[in-house]
Amino acid sequence: MSMIVRPDAPTRPGPLRRPAAARFAARFALVLVGLGTLAGWAVSPAGAQTNSCAKHGCVDVVAVNGLVDGIEADFIVDTLASARRSDGVVGVVLQFDSGGSAVGDERLDQVARAIVDSDVPVSVWIGPSGSEALGGAAELVQVADSSGIAPGASIGDVGSQRLSVDEFGDLFTGKKAKGLEGTLTGQAAVRAGLVTRFSPTVGDHLVNLDGVKTETRTEDGERRTVPLTTVRFSKLPLTTQLFHTVASPSVAYLLLTIGLGLLLFEFFTAGIGIAGVVGALFTVLGGYGLAELPHAQWALVVFVASFVAFGIDVQTGIPRLWTAIGLVGFTVSSVFLMTDFRPTWIALIAGIGGIAATMITGMPAMVRTRFSTPTIDRDWLVGESGRAATPIDPEGNVKVAGGLWRARADTDASVPSGAAVRVVAVDGVVLEVEADDTALTDASDPSD
């Protein structure tokens, strides 16, 4: 592609790109510093419980929601490492609602080892209703000292066991094998041996744990067993939860898509940098989330390259071949970007549809509007004469007023290189030209 040289003309200069780039780089650096600080908080161990253990001891209920990624794995291991009988802790309950494990086999083994080697008994409760423990999460349930499941909750879809058979044994033998290829809910999971007991609520689960002191009370005419042991609930801190959330497939995909789109927008608008800073933030967060999830490297390369293809056509203001190539690459890479856990169809449709609409209609209109303002006034070129520097069929380059310009023929005919042309209109950064005299030749003429 030939470089377009702006001719000397009585126009006001456009905005300088270098200072804008410097401002953008400074803002981007601030974003990275802020994210680095947040990341430092995110990987910090969970804070110690503040509730003191009374004479009947304490049991910690730890919420594990979403995929067991690096953050959740650290949270589980750190919580179990800090639970000591000497501190009055009588047990830890992991409250699961997890669609699987996003960590490697070695890290999953470490989490299972922390459960097995814990100083206090570890139990898992899959609840409330609608919760699940699938894949690697279902394997962790099997190595716990006991487990329970709420009505409507499910367990299974393990596929093949990832935990070390040498260290933890074959966890899905006999009736438990039903959990390898399917899911079981409620009482069916209990009968298959995948969980120990049926516990409609976390309270029902707690009163059946060894070491938990209970008493029977009469409330509203009904006798109920309640725990005397202090129950302490905990979950990921807010900052850590943010990073755990962006590591979910749909969120990571949409953040990466929107972030790269905003960076492309900022690059071609010569704006004040707001879109660029937001785009950089979204791209960093989306990249972090993607790094936490199993993904295909080739799809990531195609994903990023598709935005480069979009940029080639965006600078001309007309969506053509490169836009089509970019859309094909973006669609294919979106579908295959993540391997084990993929974005929902709603997220994929939103991402692909949004990018298609933006690149086909939004970005070209934005570029034409941005560069057809009085700041870069080219109306004076209308009526000027020049020569075609390259064949114009239907687009090419022309030399007009001492400068090289992008041009488009105003008819379906082509203009040969070297032919005399006249500017009839200006469309954003593209000149519409016609051939002088008889230079215009029908594109279907065999002599061309």
pLDDT digits (tens, 9 = 90+) for 237-262: 888 888 888 888 999 999 999 999 88
Of 29-33, 199-203, 223-227, 353-357, the range with the lowest mean pLDDT is 29-33
Is 164 in the same domain as 198? Answer: yes
Cα–Cα dist 138/195, whole Å: 10
Is 75 in the same domain as 222? Answer: yes
Domain limits at 206? 57-228
Is 285 in the same domain as 188? Answer: no
pLDDT of residue 243: 87
227: preceding bond cis by omega (within 30 degrees): no
Is 247 in the same domain as 302? Answer: yes
Assess whether pLDDT exceeds 80 at residue 221.
no
In tens, the pLDDT along 129-183 reads 999 999 999 999 999 999 999 999 999 999 999 999 999 999 999 999 999 999 9
Percent of the chain with pLDDT over 90: 41
Cα–Cα dist 234/83, whole Å: 13
Q: Is residue 91 part of a domain?
A: yes
Q: Is residue 118 part of a domain?
A: yes
Q: Is residue 234 part of a domain?
A: no
pLDDT of residue 2: 39
Longest CA span, the chain = 104
- Chain mean pLDDT for the chain: 81
Assess whether pLDDT exceeds 90 at residue 313.
no
Assess whether pLDDT exceeds 90 at residue 369.
no
Residue 446: exposure state from Cβ atoms within 10 A (0-12, 13-18, ≥19): exposed
| Residue 407 bridge partners (DSSP) | 396, 431
Of 190-199, 258-267, 346-355, the range with the lowest mean pLDDT is 258-267
Is 266 in the same domain as 221? Answer: no
pLDDT of residue 368: 62
Quick one: which of 281, 123, 248 has its CA closest to 196?
123
| Contact in structure between 135 and 341 (CB atoms under 8 Å) | no
- Residue predicted with more confidence, 28 or 377: 377
pLDDT of residue 142: 95
Is 383 in the same domain as 326? Answer: no
Is 116 in the same domain as 209? Answer: yes
- Residue predicted with more confidence, 8 or 104: 104
pLDDT band of 271, cuts 50, 70, 90: low
For residue 404, which amino acid is it?
L
Quick one: which of 232, 257, 275 has its CA closest to 352?
257
pLDDT of residue 273: 75
Which of 313, 337, 370 marks a domain boundary? 370
Q: Looking at residues 392-406, what average pLDDT do you find?
A: 82
Assess whether pLDDT exceeds 70 at residue 226.
yes
The helix, strand and coil proportions of the chain, stated in percent and rounded to the nearest 5, come to: 45, 20, 35
Q: Looking at residues 339-366, what average pLDDT do you find?
A: 86
pLDDT of residue 24: 44
* DSSP code per residue over 227-254: E-SEEEEE---HHHHHHHHHTSHHHHHH
Q: Looking at residues 208-225, what average pLDDT do you find?
A: 82
pLDDT band of 111, cuts 50, 70, 90: very high
- Residue predicted with more confidence, 198 or 216: 198
Is 127 in the same domain as 205? Answer: yes
pLDDT band of 448, cuts 50, 70, 90: very low
Is 204 in the same domain as 247? Answer: no
pLDDT of residue 253: 94
In tens, the pLDDT along 413-440 reads 788 888 888 888 887 778 888 887 644 4
Assess whether pLDDT exceeds 50 at residue 30.
no
Is 106 in the same domain as 69? Answer: yes
Q: Looking at residues 291-320, what average pLDDT do you find?
A: 86
Percent of the chain with pLDDT over 70: 81
Is 313 in the same domain as 413? Answer: no
Query: How many distinct structural domains can be found in the chain?
Result: 3
Q: Is residue 347 part of a domain?
A: yes
pLDDT of residue 270: 58
Is 193 in the same domain as 255? Answer: no
* DSSP code per residue over 245-292: HHTSHHHHHHHHHHHHHHHHHHHHHT--SHHHHHHHHHHHHHHHHHHH
Tokens 């910090």 -> residue: 44
Which of 370, 392, 427 marks a domain boundary? 370
Q: Looking at residues 277-290, what average pLDDT do you find?
A: 91
Of 34-43, 105-114, 343-352, the range with the lowest mean pLDDT is 34-43
pLDDT of residue 22: 44
Q: Is residue 47 part of a domain?
A: no
Q: Where are the beta strands (DSSP E) in 381-443?
A: 385-388, 395-400, 403-409, 420-427, 430-435
